[in-house]
Homo-oligomer: A and B are copies of this chain.
Amino acid sequence: MSKSDIRHLQIADYLIAQIKKGTYRIGDKLPSEHELCDKFQANHHIVRTAVARLINMGWITAHQGKGAFVISRPEVFPYQLSARTGFSENLKEKAVPHRGQLLHHDRRHPTQQECRYLNLETHEFIYDLRIKRFINETPVSLSKTIICEKDIPNLENYLTNFKSLYKILSDHYRISPVRTKSIVQAILPNLEDVLMLQLPENVPLVQIRSFANHPNGHPFEYTLSKMRSDTCHYVIDF
């Protein structure tokens, strides 16, 4: 049996084609799962996995009790990946409501890997920040940032009423980190990501691991971020 014979993939493919063709337009309600079962002479399960595929691919959303609707694609925001910009800097030029929420912060010794990344000794200290970011009050990304403590003593003092990390670094330390390298992957969210970002279980995320230097040139910051790419695209200008 070939993949192309698989019933739920066929059904998903057919529904996507219908949406592309305009049979179902943006905002339209799809037939109910019950109706789709009749139409395709298939089981509830099969129809559901097909529908789930459309949800994960970003074609539709479903709401219990209401139905499944072709997505009115929210505006997609370009997120510039460059040597100099952070999340807020990127969006504030545009008139986009956005914010960062500090989930957790910690001052601790670095792990061995973090020592390699930031060129530190294990007895030194780092700050470990977990940040959740929103656009239009929709959660779009989770990130974990590790920064050398010696460059930014007493960071804790500035973390109340957190808004933007790069703003704190700029306002209180006059540091504007310089991104040197980013590694890009596509991943599926783990259970924590699913809960934190209120995602369907199989929506793909862009994961970026970035390294940034202190303006004076030494390794300063390591960030791992995971972002939904249905609301935000990374853009690189060369």
Tally of this chain's copies: 2
Helix, strand, loop or mixed for chain A's interface? mixed
A13 to chain B, nearest CB (A): 5
**Which residues from B are CB-within-8-Å of A184?**
81, 184, 206, 229, 233-236
The yes or no answer to A16 lying at the interface (CB within 8 A) is: yes
Say whether B180 contacts A237, CB under 8 Å. Answer: yes
**Which residues from B are CB-within-8-Å of A182?**
235-236, 238
CA distance A128 to B204 in the complex (A): 28
**Which residues from B are CB-within-8-Å of A83?**
238
With contacts A53-B201, A179-B238 known, is A194 near B3, CB below 8 A?
yes
Q: Interface digits, A168-206 against B, CB 8 Å rule (1 contact, 0 not)?
A: 000000000011111111111011001100000110111
The yes or no answer to A4 lying at the interface (CB within 8 A) is: yes
CA distance A150 to B4 in the complex (A): 39
Say whether A202 contacts B205, CB under 8 Å. Answer: no
The yes or no answer to A26 lying at the interface (CB within 8 A) is: no
Q: Which of B78, B181, B194, B202 contacts A237 (CB 8 A)?
A: B181
Q: Which of B9, B183, B186 contacts A194 (CB 8 A)?
A: B9
Say whether B235 contacts A181, CB under 8 Å. Answer: yes
CA distance A82 to B16 in the complex (A): 34
The yes or no answer to A56 lying at the interface (CB within 8 A) is: yes
- A window 11-32: CB within 8 A of B: 12-13, 16
With contacts A187-B57, A202-B56 known, is A238 near B194, CB below 8 A?
no
Say whether A204 contacts B201, CB under 8 Å. Answer: no
Say whether A56 contacts B206, CB under 8 Å. Answer: no
Which residue of B has the minimal Cβ distance to A57?
B188
Residues in chain A within 8 A of chain B (CB atoms) = 2-4, 9, 12-13, 16, 45, 53, 56-57, 78, 81-83, 178-188, 190-191, 194-195, 201-202, 204-206, 229, 233-238
| 24 pairs of residues in contact across A and B, judged by CB atoms under 8 Å | A3-B191, A3-B194, A9-B201, A12-B191, A16-B190, A53-B188, A53-B201, A81-B184, A81-B236, A82-B238, A83-B238, A180-B237, A180-B238, A181-B235, A182-B235, A182-B238, A183-B235, A184-B206, A184-B234, A185-B234, A202-B202, A204-B204, A206-B206, A236-B236
